[in-house]
Amino acid sequence: MNSHHPSLHPHHQESHACHQAWQVQSRLLAQRLFDQALRQGWVARFFDALCRRSSTLALLADLPISSTASTNLPGVQSIPLHQIIGSEGRSHDFDRHFAPLHEHIRERWVSLAALRSEGHPLPPVELVQVGHSYYVLDGHHRISVARAFGDATIDACVTVWDLGPNPGARASCPRIHREGGTPSLPKRSSITR
């Protein structure tokens, strides 16, 4: 047996042990951040209820669309997190502050937060811009994690939808205008939500 094999060398064993300890610490930090985000979400939703404000994410499907014009912005944009107000369809998993609503998303959320705390960059999220607001197509968990880490912005691939007034939509219950079709959406990334 070769005593100089890298897997047996004391320096490599020590380095591997340090790496494993760091991963455990990152995972514990991520678990604590998830618990904190869950608690803060409960408190925020309680105050929203007291103030009779909605706690749910706005839905992209509820916007009145009178134009099919869309533009993909070149490259990756840095988007203020407070301008991301809605979702293509994940309002059942996150509130309007992107706090998690349920335990079932813990594993995915914690995995991303642990990667982030280890210094791994997360891929850009995918957003639709409508006016000055943004709706999430892909990257809900990443946005929630970024908020938990106290970030002000997030990297995103952005598609701009040009919407005009829709005379057929009632103000209290807007609908997607489908006669002209809907704008095309970008392809999803391999890391979802």
Give the Cα separation of 169 and 177 in Å (integer). 8
Query: So what's the pLDDT on residue 52?
Result: 83
pLDDT in tens, 68-91: 577 888 889 999 999 999 998 777
Q: Which range, 16-20, 50-54, 136-140, 168-172, is most confident?
A: 136-140
Non-local CB neighbours of 102 within 8 Å, separated by 6+ positions: 93
pTM greater than the 0.85 cutoff: no
User: Distance of CA 74 to CAs 78, 80, 156, Å?
Assistant: 12, 17, 11
Share of the chain above pLDDT 70, in %: 70
Average pLDDT, stretch 120-141? 94
How would CATH label the architecture of 1-182?
Alpha-Beta Complex (3.90)
Question: Pairing relation of β-strands 153-161 and 77-80?
Answer: antiparallel
91 or 184: which leads in pLDDT: 91
For residues 84 and 73, what is the distance between their CA atoms, to the nearest angstrom?
16
What mean pLDDT comes out for the span 3-15? 55
Which pLDDT belongs to residue 67?
A: 56
| Contact assessment for residue 95 and residue 45, using Cβ atoms and an 8 Å cutoff | yes
